[in-house]
Amino acid sequence: MKIAKGCKSLILSSFISALLILIISFIYLQSSIGFVLLFISFLLFLLTGFFLVFFRDPERKIGEGIVACADGKIREITELNDIDVGKCIKISTFMNVQNVHVNRMVFDGKIKSITHFSGLYLPAFKKESEKNERVVIIVENSIGLIKIVQIAGTLARRIVTYIKKDNILKKGDRIGIIRLGSRVDVYLPYAKIKNITVRIGCRVKAGEDKIAEINA
Q: Are 56 and 2 in contact (CB under 8 A)?
A: yes
d(CA 177, CA 104): 9
Q: Is the dihedral of CA 21, 155, 172, 109 positive or negative?
A: negative
pLDDT in the model for residue 153: 67
Q: Are 133 and 152 in contact (CB under 8 A)?
A: yes
pLDDT in the model for residue 123: 53
pLDDT in the model for residue 195: 95
pLDDT at 42 over 80: yes
Torsion of CA 112, 117, 123, 128, to 10 degrees: -100
pLDDT in the model for residue 128: 47
pLDDT in the model for residue 127: 52
pLDDT at 150 over 70: yes
pLDDT tens digits for range 97-149:
888 989 999 999 999 999 988 765 555 445 545 666 889 999 999 999 999 99
- Which among 154, 198, 204 is positioned nearest to 179, based on CA atoms? 154
Q: Which residues pair with 56 in a beta bridge?
A: 3
pLDDT tens digits for range 85-98:
999 999 999 988 88
Annotated catalytic residues are 182
Cα of first residue to Cα of last residue in the chain, in angstroms, is: 39
Element (H, E) at 39: helix 32-54
Distance of CA 209 to the CA centre of its chain: 15
